[in-house]
Amino acid sequence: MSLTALTTRLELAVAVLNAVEPPLRDVAYFLGTSVTTDRRRAHEQALVADYHAALVAHGVTGYDADRCWRDYRLGQLQGPMVTILGCMYARGVRSGRSDAMFLAMATRSCAAIQDLRSLELL
């Protein structure tokens, strides 16, 4: 998948999940759980920088790129919790596919927390 396709999916995820919340939470959740770890590592800095540039282009002021990156790192912390809750309360029939999906989400989100040293920000 190209960087453009990833950016388009990221924009769609943010639009669908639009709400008042901590900055970059949805971006972090999407990249931390839905994108393979290798792909996230390869593209996350560029994607977060593009996201920040789009915020600025749309009139956001007083929110610098360093703060945006920090918020992205903090946003990764929700990944394991949301994944566990989703697994616990999923209404569908449990299957090998759903187990694999939740395992991938948990593994990816924990890798992102470790890679980005998110716990150091607490």
Q: What is the pLDDT of residues 48-97, one digit of tens each?
A: 999 999 999 999 999 999 999 999 999 999 999 999 988 888 888 888 99
The C-alpha angle with vertex 33 and arms to 18 and 98, in degrees rounded to 5, equals 105
List the one residue out of 33, 37, 39, 113 whose CA is nearest residue 74.
Answer: 113
Q: What is the pLDDT of residue 13?
A: 55
Span 37-50, average pLDDT: 96
Pick left, alpha or beta for residue 92 (phi over 0 → left; psi -120 to 50 → alpha; otherwise beta). beta
Rg, C-alpha atoms of the chain: 15
Higher pLDDT: 41 or 5? It is 41
**Separation of alpha carbons 58 and 80, rounded Å:** 31
